[in-house]
C-alpha cells in the first residue's frame, strides 16, 4: 500500500499527461510557455482572486509575498508552531523573526487566543514590530480566517495564507488560497494538487503586490527581462510542470477532491470512538492533504506506527517537532513549556494513507489494524 499513490494517479491520467509532456517538448517554449499563462488564469478563476502568479515552489511563493511587503530585520511574523519548516524558514531568510504561536487541538490550525497573546507580548517587549500573521491551512483545512482577520485588523497586520496543503479547501463559499492578503500554494508532488517536480504559486487581489511579485520571480524585471528594477529571484514554474498541472487540475476539480473527501469520511466512520479523528468545523471543507488521527500518548502512537509498518501499511508523523524546538531556532530560546498543545500533538499524531485513488478495501484494512492495536 502506498501512503499517497501518485503512480496510480498517473496511470489513470496517462494518455493526457503523456500528450501534455510531449506537446511541451515539441513546442520549444520551455520557459514561461503558453501553459503557464493558461494555468495561472484557470487557478485564479477557481480560487476566486484577481491574480495568480506561478513560481518555482511553495517556499519561494511565501518569500515572494514577504519581499513584496518589504518584511525584514526588526519585523515580527507570527507563525503556527505546528507546521512544515518552510512556513517560518522564509521569515528568517528575509532577516525577520518568526514568533511561534500555539494551535487548536481539534483543527491543527493557529489558535487565535494564543496569537493575540503573542502579539501583545511582542508589543510589550518592544524589540520587534508586529507585521504579518502567517496562517497555515494544515492538512487541507483552512484556518479560522474570520477570527484571524479580526485580530489582524485590530493590530494592523497583514495575513499571509500558507495554502501549500490547503488548495481545494473551503470556508463557507470562500476557497482556500483566497483567504489571505496574499495566499500561496505548493505543487510539490504529494500536495493536494501536485506536479512532477517542484512548483508553486501566489494569489492576491492587490494589483500593486501582483506586479511586484511578477517582477520578483524574474530577477526583478521592469519593462522587460534585461531592465532590472529591483533585486529579485529566478523562480518560474516550468512550462512542462504547468502542462502537467493543467491535466491534473481537471481531474482535481471534477472528482479528486470529492473522492478524497469520501475516503476521509469512511476513515472517520470506522475510527470514531477508537481514536481522535480529524475535526472539520461546520461550514468548512478540507482537501485532505493528510488524514491525521491522535493517539493517547507517544507510546501508543509509536507502537501503532510500528505495528502498521509490520503489516505493510505506511504512516507518517506530521510533525514530530514543534518549530520552536528545531535546532535551527535554538537561539530563540523558547521556554520549555511553550505552546503545550503543539508539544502534545507532536507526540500523539499519526497520518494514515489517503489519496483520491485509495480503495474502500484499503481503508477498511488500515482501520481494522488500527482498531485491533488500540
Ligand X SMILES: *Cc1c(COP(=O)(O)O)cnc(C)c1O
Listed ranges 33-41, 92-100, 158-166, 226-234: which one lies at the site for ligand X (CB under 6 A)? 158-166
Measured from the CB of residue 351, what is the shortest distance to ligand X in angstroms? 12
Measured from the CB of residue 235, what is the shortest distance to ligand X in angstroms? 10
Exactly one of 200, 232, 322, 356 binds ligand X (CB under 6 A); that residue is 200
Listed ranges 83-91, 237-245, 309-317, 350-358: which one lies at the site for ligand X (CB under 6 A)? 83-91
Rg of the chain (C-alpha set): 21
Write out the three cell numbers for 104: 487548536
Cα–Cα distance measured from residue 82 to residue 74, given in angstroms and rounded to the nearest whole number: 23
Positive or negative: CA dihedral 331, 334, 339, 345: positive
Positions in 270-299 near ligand X (CB under 6 A): none
Output DSSP code: residue 221: B
The binding track of 120-139 with respect to ligand X, each residue x by CB under 6 A or -, is ----------------x---
Helix axes 58-68, 86-93, angle to 10 degrees: 40
Residue 339 binds ligand X (CB under 6 A)? no
Residue 77 binds ligand X (CB under 6 A)? no
By CB under 6 A, how many residues form the interface with ligand X? 15
Measured from the CB of residue 5, what is the shortest distance to ligand X in angstroms? 19
Positions in 180-199 near ligand X (CB under 6 A): 186, 188, 198
**Neighbouring-strand partners of residue 159:** 133
Cα-based distances in Å from 93 to 73, 183, 198, 216, 360: 10, 19, 20, 16, 44
Exactly one of 54, 63, 165, 215 binds ligand X (CB under 6 A); that residue is 165
Residue 57 binds ligand X (CB under 6 A)? yes
Measured from the CB of residue 316, what is the shortest distance to ligand X in angstroms? 12
Total length of the chain: 374
Cα–Cα distance measured from residue 315 to residue 328, given in angstroms and rounded to the nearest whole number: 26
Write out the three cell numbers for 217: 520571480
Cα–Cα distance measured from residue 208 to residue 260, given in angstroms and rounded to the nearest whole number: 37
Residue 63 binds ligand X (CB under 6 A)? no
By the criterion CB under 6 A, which residues form the site for ligand X? 57-59, 83-84, 86-87, 136, 162, 164-165, 186, 188, 198, 200
Amino acid at each position: 500500500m502506498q501512503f499517497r499513490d501518485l503512480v496510480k494517479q498517473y496511470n489513470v491520467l496517462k494518455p493526457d499527461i503523456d500528450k501534455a509532456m510531449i506537446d511541451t517538448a515539441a513546442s520549444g517554449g520551455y520557459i514561461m510557455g503558453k501553459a503557464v499563462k493558461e494555468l495561472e488564469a484557470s487557478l485564479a478563476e477557481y480560487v476566486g482572486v484577481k491574480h495568480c502568479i506561478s513560481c518555482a515552489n511553495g517556499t519561494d511563493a511565501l518569500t515572494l509575498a514577504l519581499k513584496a511587503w518589504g518584511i525584514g530585520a526588526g519585523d515580527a511574523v507570527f507563525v503556527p508552531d505546528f507546521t512544515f519548516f518552510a512556513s517560518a524558514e522564509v521569515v528568517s531568510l528575509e532577516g525577520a523573526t518568526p514568533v511561534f504561536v500555539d494551535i487548536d487541538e481539534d483543527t491543527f490550525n493557529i489558535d487565535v487566543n494564543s496569537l493575540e497573546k503573542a502579539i501583545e507580548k511582542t508589543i510589550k517587549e518592544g524589540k520587534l514590530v508586529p507585521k504579518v500573521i502567517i496562517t497555515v491551512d494544515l492538512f487541507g483545512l483552512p484556518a479560522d480566517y474570520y477570527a484571524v482577520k479580526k485580530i489582524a485588523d485590530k493590530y494592523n497586520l497583514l495575513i499571509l495564507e500558507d495554502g501549500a496543503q490547503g488548495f481545494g479547501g473551503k470556508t463557507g463559499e470562500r476557497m482556500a488560497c483566497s483567504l489571505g492578503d496574499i495566499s500561496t500554494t505548493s505543487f510539490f508532488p504529494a500536495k493536494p494538487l501536485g506536479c512532477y517536480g517542484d512548483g508553486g504559486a501566489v494569489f492576491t487581489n492587490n494589483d500593486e503586490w501582483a506586479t511586484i511579485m511578477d517582477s520578483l520571480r524574474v530577477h526583478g524585471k521592469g519593462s522587460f527581462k534585461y531592465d532590472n528594477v529591483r533585486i529579485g529571484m529566478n523562480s518560474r514554474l516550468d512550462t512542462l510542470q504547468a502542462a502537467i498541472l493543467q491535466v491534473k487540475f481537471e481531474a482535481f476539480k471534477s472528482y479528486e477532491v470529492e473522492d478524497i473527501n469520501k475516503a476521509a469520511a469512511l476513515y472517520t466512520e470506522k475510527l470514531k470512538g477508537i481514536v481522535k479523528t480529524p475535526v472539520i468545523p461546520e461550514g468548512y471543507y478540507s482537501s485532505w492533504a493528510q488524514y491525521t488521527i491522535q493517539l493517547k500518548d507517544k507510546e501508543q502512537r509509536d507502537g501503532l506506527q510500528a505495528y502498521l509498518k509490520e503489516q505493510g501499511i505506511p504512516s507518517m508523523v506530521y510533525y514530530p517537532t514543534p518549530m520552536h524546538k528545531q535546532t535551527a531556532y535554538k537561539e530563540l530560546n523558547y521556554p520549555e513549556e511553550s505552546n503545550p498543545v503543539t508539544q502534545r500533538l507532536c507526540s500523539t499524531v499519526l497520518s494514515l494513507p489517503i489519496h483520491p485513488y485509495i480503495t474502500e478495501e484499503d481503508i477498511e484494512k488500515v482501520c481494522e489494524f488500527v482498531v485491533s492495536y488500540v
